[in-house]
Amino acid sequence: MSACLLGRRVRFDGGAKRSDDALLAAWREEGRLVPFCPEVEGGLPVPRPPAEIEGGAGGAAVLDGEARVLTRDGRDVTDAFLAGARAALDAAVASGARVAILKEGSPSCGVLTVYDGAFRGRKVAGEGVTTALLERHGIRVFNEDRIADAARFLARRDGPEAG
Ligand code: SF4
């Protein structure tokens, strides 16, 4: 679960993007959420310069070495993004997570969209680096607008007998 969606102030600008979704609150109460910020776990500070995947590519291209993650001033932060994605995967596997709920639009956590790499506020279709790695390992990723879909996915997987 993207830590910023749970109110942790880990975003590049030092803020959070807390979600008030009722399902999240319930899951939190039940201790089912693992908060995680791949960029912080990858070694980047808070705050930090905004970063985008070059060329409007998605996270899969970064995993495959076909695109880099760059800050606005051109610093290559690809290694930190990859380290954060690997740490997120390790945390997901260790906790037995079957789904992840990640913050849309982020170069790490985006699910359907990322920024186009030109730092002009335009989004393109694509996923973040962590999303791409989790999906490659069979973890289903939903954004913060699809939490109900995540719940339905889990209910279908677990079947009627599971709690
Ligand atoms: Fe939130 Fe993900 Fe960005 Fe961390 S990397 S601040 S969890 S969107």
Residues 49-64: tens digit of each pLDDT: 999 999 999 999 999 9
Q: Give the whole-angstrom CA distance, residue 109 versus residue 127.
A: 7
Nearest to 7 by CA among 39, 105, 46, 16: 16
Indicate whether 160 pLDDT > 70. Answer: no
Q: Is the CB of 80 under 6 A from ligand 1?
A: no
Instruction: Tell me the domain boundaries of the chain.
Output: 3-158
Q: Is the CB of 110 under 6 A from ligand 1?
A: no
Indicate whether 163 pLDDT > 80. Answer: no
pTM across the whole model: 0.96
Consecutive H or E run containing 84: helix 78-95
Mention every residue, 6+ apart, whose C-beta is less than 8 A from residue 156: none
Copy the structure tokens of residue 97: 């997570």
Nearest CA owner, ligand 1 atom 1: 4
Indicate whether 26 pLDDT > 80. Answer: yes
Atom of ligand 1 nearest to the CA of 2: 7
Nearest CA owner, ligand 1 atom 3: 11
Residues 27-45: tens digit of each pLDDT: 999 999 999 999 999 999 9
Atom of ligand 1 nearest to the CA of 11: 6
